Amino acid sequence: MTSEHTGADGPRADRLASAPAGHTRVDGVDLTGRTALVTGGGSGIGRACAEAFAAAGALVHVADVDAETAKAVAASVGGEPHVVDLTDAAAVPGLPADVDILVNSAGAQHVAPIEDFPVARFEELQRLMVTAPFLLLRHCLPHMYRQGWGRVVNISSVHGLRASPFKSAYVAAKHGLEGLSKVAALEAAPHGVTCNCVNPGYVRTPLVEGQIAAQAAVHGVDPADVVADVLLDRSAVKRLIEPDEVAAVAVWLCGPHTGYLTGASLPVDGGWTAA
């Protein structure tokens, strides 16, 4: 997403500037010979994760509901595309189970007051961001257990640790994912498998673009002001996070020195949760 303030004069342009462009390669992490399954891999954080894991040497299975983006990303990283709607539980068995790394990144958002929130949409978001990760854990953990090694990275959110108004489904789902991740960490530890959450604040993704428009409608403000005055209001670092920054943390969690790190939630939020 590019803010309408980008390139404008004055301090707000500096506050909303992008992070310096960087490489997705994470020093010290070699995943050659490993296989990763990344959900939501067609765009945003999921795409950045697919690229970063491939750069680290892993074979990446790119799962996304959008056929065009799944195939494009898979082709760009030398991986395998899987077109799948994860709100449908019956779709999970069609994904590969013999993976070493599972990255649950698929997500969606809907912004509305609780009294106006569509029940069907609330339930859909729970299926996508809680039920699907649960089913994928059931699907992939047996292989990880058998080989005595595995890594699960759940792309949660600062909203798995904090709440914001008008996001009841998303906040509930991310809090649920946090609990699921901790239970999985406890159960999987004896098998050499870790399970952690990464908790980004607002990331420069298509999902956030949609949130900006929705928040503008809810608050009755200009979309350009939502970034500075709503999204970044509680962040100490006044810029959107880049997808590559989140992906780098996900890859690092699968590196050689993180076997004792499990059941954790790692904020990548510019200081939001420090307040």
DSSP character for 103? E
Tokens 């490993």 belong to 34
Name, in order, each residue with C-beta under 8 angstroms of 241's C-beta and a sequence gap of 6 or more: 19, 200, 201, 202, 203, 204, 268, 269, 270
DSSP character for 88? S
> Which of 145, 170, 202, 260 is the catalytic position?
170
Give CA 247 to chain center in angstroms: 8
Q: Is 202 a catalytic residue?
A: no
156 contacts 111 by C-beta, under 8 angstroms? no
Other C-beta atoms closer than 10 Å to the C-beta of 88 total 12
Residue type, 51: E
| Distance, CA of 262 to CA of 186 (rounded, Å) | 8
205 contacts 273 by C-beta, under 8 angstroms? no
- The stretches of the chain forming alpha helices (DSSP H) are 11-15, 44-55, 67-77, 119-126, 132-147, 168-188, 206-219, 223-226, 243-252
Name, in order, each residue with C-beta under 8 angstroms of 23's C-beta and a sequence gap of 6 or more: 55, 244
121 contacts 129 by C-beta, under 8 angstroms? no
152 strand-pairing partners = 102, 195
* Catalytic center residues: 170
